[in-house]
Amino acid sequence: MKFAVLGAAAALPAAVAYNLPRQGPASSASSVPAAASGSSSTAAGVPGYPAGVSVASSFSALPSVSWSLPSTNPTALPLSDIVPGTITTQPQIGATTTFPAGTAPTDIPNAPPMPNWALLSPANYPPLDKPPPTDSPEVQQWIQDVQNSGIQIPNLEPTQPGGCPANPQFATDQSRCWWTCGGCVRDTDITTCPDKFTWGLTYDDGPALYTPNLLEYLDQNNLKSTMFVVGSRVISYPALLQEEYMAGHQICVHTWSHPSLTTLTNEEIIAEFGWSKKVIKDVLGVTPLYWRPPYGDIDDRVRAIGQAMGMEPVIWTRLSPLATFDTNDYNIAGGTVSVTQVLQNWQDIMGNVSSINTGFIVLEHDLFAQTVDLATGYILPAALAFQPKLDIKPVVECLNKPMQDAYLETNDNSTNPLPTGSNISPTFTSGAPGSAQASGNTTGGASTPQKTGGASSAASPLLAVGTAAAALLVACSVLL
């Protein structure tokens, strides 16, 4: 079996994920120095960067590697225009379609009507991109709900920021089943689709002002995806979330502020989940039953809290600690990965698809212009031209379940029973627990976090609910 080495994991940083540039995985291919970018973006007002500093100018030239795809979009943005190390490279746009309050999707039986998002008040939610306080009445109630769930939360000490190197004892503790260090998974973890050549399409960290470009391409090609949305982005762009939902895409939880969850206390994890679930319900009228851990940072304590709050974890396919289905696209905006490295990662992923006996799930993002440009111009066209033909669908449907099973209010519990506290035996995908860290990227493993799942990175838009004012996206990075 061919294992493509997509990168070695870096340690998770101690700071808030959303506000740090993320460190991408090292390329396994020989690198050829590329010409330094002539484009830059001023990062004034962006957390993590001094005012007036050009983001692109702070990064050295990135390696250029060879890649070959079966097809690209004829209208794709040239790779020379997809510039690493910039916050933005393309115009930002808001929702292209808005829906009257009370509208409900026609393809989800018994879906409740959507609320009027314009009536939401940001003052009723935590600050953007910051861990929510745990002393609010809402969080206190969620804590009590977890205690009343009957699910036993393992008495595991939180990890220290810094990933596997900073936690050598935890990294080798098989009983903890820490995915970041060694790739341990439980049977409750969703990392693949059961049917071969089926791709559970996912995008993390939105909704963002480049998401409409992705939605347009998906619609043109009759594709549906799973969107792991950050609560801070939802309250920033509620109309975009409604557009995703009404277009038939699956909406899932990706926490409120995109932290490394194993580093948090039980109460802090509950607050991250609770506010994310609440804001999605307040915008859509439905509550997601699936979630993805930022950086893929999950252990048995985090799993149990997610179960107690009625959610199942979705990570992404991982063949070994150094071979994960992670495009590492998120690190382009941070300036640590070149666009050709991401395309080579995708080529390597596709090289492994025929070698495994299941379908697969890939880590990608819709937060930045670069990630959307690569998805619509190169990755998705290549996937559509792949032979044998891929069956591309949202995660809930790749699990052979109907879309209504994705939400609490529409799930009749017949084909998708709610999570339980049953004890599941761990499986180590590397064959050796704690043998290595996960590859660096936006949603998985250990990496220097930024804001979102897996290799986190995030955005810090200026909040404008109701009038949908412009938002400022912040470069962040790590695995997811």
Q: Mind telling me the catalytic residues?
A: 204, 365
Q: What is the DSSP letter of 271?
A: H
Q: CB 188: neighbour CB atoms within 10 A?
A: 15
Q: In angstroms, rounded to a whole number, what is the distance separating the alpha carbons of residues 175 and 247? A: 42
The residue among 448, 453, 445 whose CA lies nearest residue 480 is 453
Q: What angle do CA 43, 44, 50 make, to 5 degrees?
A: 80
Mention every residue, 6+ apart, whose C-beta is less than 8 A from residue 417: none
Residue 353 parent element (H or E):
helix 339-353
159 within 8 A of 263, measured Cβ to Cβ? yes
* CA atoms lying within 13 Å on the CB side of residue 58: 18
Computed from CA positions of residues 43, 49, 50, 55, in that sequence, does the dihedral angle turn out positive or negative? negative
The residue among 296, 325, 265 whose CA lies nearest residue 443 is 296
Q: At 270, is the secondary structure helix, strand, or coil?
A: helix
18 within 8 A of 129, measured Cβ to Cβ? yes
Q: In angstroms, rounded to a whole number, what is the distance separating the alpha carbons of residues 185 and 179? A: 6
Q: CB 408: neighbour CB atoms within 10 A?
A: 15
Burial class (CB in 10 A: 0-12, 13-18, 19+), 66: exposed
Q: What angle do CA 222, 338, 319 make, to 5 degrees?
A: 65
The residue among 26, 21, 28, 30 whose CA lies nearest residue 8 is 26
Strand 202-204 relative to strand 250-253, pairing? unpaired
Q: In angstroms, rounded to a whole number, what is the distance separating the alpha carbons of residues 257 and 17? A: 8
470 within 8 A of 464, measured Cβ to Cβ? yes
Q: In angstroms, rounded to a whole number, what is the distance separating the alpha carbons of residues 228 and 288? A: 10
Residue 251 parent element (H or E):
strand 250-253
What residue ranges in 266-325 does DSSP mark as E strands? 290-291, 312-313, 318-320, 323-324
3-state helix, strand, coil in the chain (%, to 5): 30, 10, 60
Q: In angstroms, rounded to a whole number, what is the distance separating the alpha carbons of residues 30 and 340? A: 12
